[in-house]
């Protein structure tokens, strides 16, 4: 006798399994949720930071406005403090560039230089600001790799300038000032004096270096951000 052929076709009354479709639906729902988080979080943080900054400036500047000469509705304008600050800084800069304003500014600096503690703080801050303003085209333009904090471990740093001042008198082998930021807060870090021969200059912009530091190595360019923003294909 010939063995009867077995067929795997489901009968009309047999229910079709819906587990794969359910799995695909949950995966798609999860991917859409995380994509929404990736899109909304930067927007929300940006709006929050701008709002926080505007409120801080308004809180400090608006009380300086004489209420007797300004209508009450003016104080309700958001960002009024920033507008006033920008105009005031512009007027101060215009005043300092003319003959009379420069004489007044020099007179004020002479008064400040006679106060024992204040003069040291003022001179230090002025030197830092003037140096950064003059070197704004050179500072933080080169991103480099250096072995830190020990041999075999590498860190990203920013070359700020050639070594100058008293340290340069003791380190005379073409040293550079390198700022090594911390992760994820790049505003803090370490200033290192490193030989340029021990540095590996990278082919990346300061913005790309900052992105890599802040993200902990996950993001190095806009292409990486685009990859992260793309939803993961459903399985």
**Greater confidence, 12 or 148?**
148
- Is 158 inside any structural domain? yes
**Single pTM value for the model:** 0.54
Q: 178 and 144 in contact (C-beta within 8 Å)?
A: yes
For the sheet with 189-195, list strands across it: 189-195, 175-181, 154-162, 142-147, 200-201
pLDDT digit string, tens, across residues 82-140: 888 888 888 888 877 787 777 887 888 888 888 888 888 888 887 777 766 666 656 67
- Is 221 inside any structural domain? yes
Give pLDDT, residue 173. 85
E strands, the chain, in order:
142-147, 154-162, 175-181, 189-195, 200-201
pLDDT at 187 exceeding the cut of 70 = yes
* Confidence band for 194, pLDDT divided at 50, 70 and 90: very high
Q: 3-state class of 180 per DSSP?
A: strand
- Is 166 inside any structural domain? yes
Give pLDDT, residue 49. 86
> How many domains are contained in the chain?
1
Structural domain containing residue 151: 142-227
Give pLDDT, residue 14. 53
Mean of the pLDDT values across residues 59-66?
Answer: 82
Give pLDDT, residue 234. 47
- Quick one: the chain helix, strand, coil %, rounded to 5? 55, 15, 35
pLDDT at 3 exceeding the cut of 60 = no
- Is 95 inside any structural domain? no
Joined together, the tokens standing for residue 196 give 């340029």
Give pLDDT, residue 201. 94
Joined together, the tokens standing for residue 216 give 């902990």
Give pLDDT, residue 50. 87
What does the alpha-carbon distance between residue 180 and residue 2 come to, in Å, rounded to a whole number? Answer: 81
Mean of the pLDDT values across residues 161-173?
Answer: 89
- What CATH number is attached to the domain comprising 169? 2.30.30
DSSP 1-44: -PPPPP--PPPTTSPPP-HHHHHHHHHHHHHHHHHHHHHHHHHH
- Is 34 inside any structural domain? no
Question: Cβ–Cβ contacts within 10 Å for residue 71, how many?
Answer: 8
- Is 118 inside any structural domain? no
- Is 92 inside any structural domain? no
Give pLDDT, residue 158. 94
- Is 169 inside any structural domain? yes
- Sign for the CA dihedral angle at 102, 105, 111, 115 comes to negative
Joined together, the tokens standing for residue 223 give 């292409």
């Amino acid at each position: 006798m010939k063995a009867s052929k077995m067929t795997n076709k489901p009968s009309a009354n047999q229910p079709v399994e819906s587990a794969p479709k359910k799995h695909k639906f949950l995966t798609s729902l999860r991917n859409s949720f995380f994509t929404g988080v990736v899109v909304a979080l930067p927007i929300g943080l940006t709006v929050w930071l701008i709002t926080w900054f505007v409120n801080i400036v308004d809180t400090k500047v608006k009380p300086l406005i004489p209420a007797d000469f300004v209508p009450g509705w003016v104080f309700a304008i958001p960002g009024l403090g920033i507008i006033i600050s920008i105009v005031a800084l512009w007027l101060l800069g215009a005043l300092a560039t003319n003959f009379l304003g420069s004489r007044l500014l020099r007179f004020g600096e002479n008064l400040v230089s006679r106060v024992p503690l204040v003069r040291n703080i003022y001179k230090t801050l002025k030197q830092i600001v003037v140096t950064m303003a003059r070197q704004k085209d050179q500072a933080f333009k080169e991103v480099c790799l250096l072995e830190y904090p020990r041999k075999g471990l590498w860190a990203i740093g920013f070359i700020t300038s050639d070594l100058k001042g008293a340290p340069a008198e003791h380190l005379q082998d073409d040293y550079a000032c390198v700022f090594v930021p911390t992760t994820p807060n790049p505003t803090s870090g370490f200033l290192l004096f490193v030989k340029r021969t021990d540095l590996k200059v990278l082919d990346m912009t300061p913005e790309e270096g900052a992105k890599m530091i802040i993200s902990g190595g996950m993001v190095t360019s806009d292409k990486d951000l685009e990859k992260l923003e793309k939803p993961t294909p459903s399985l």
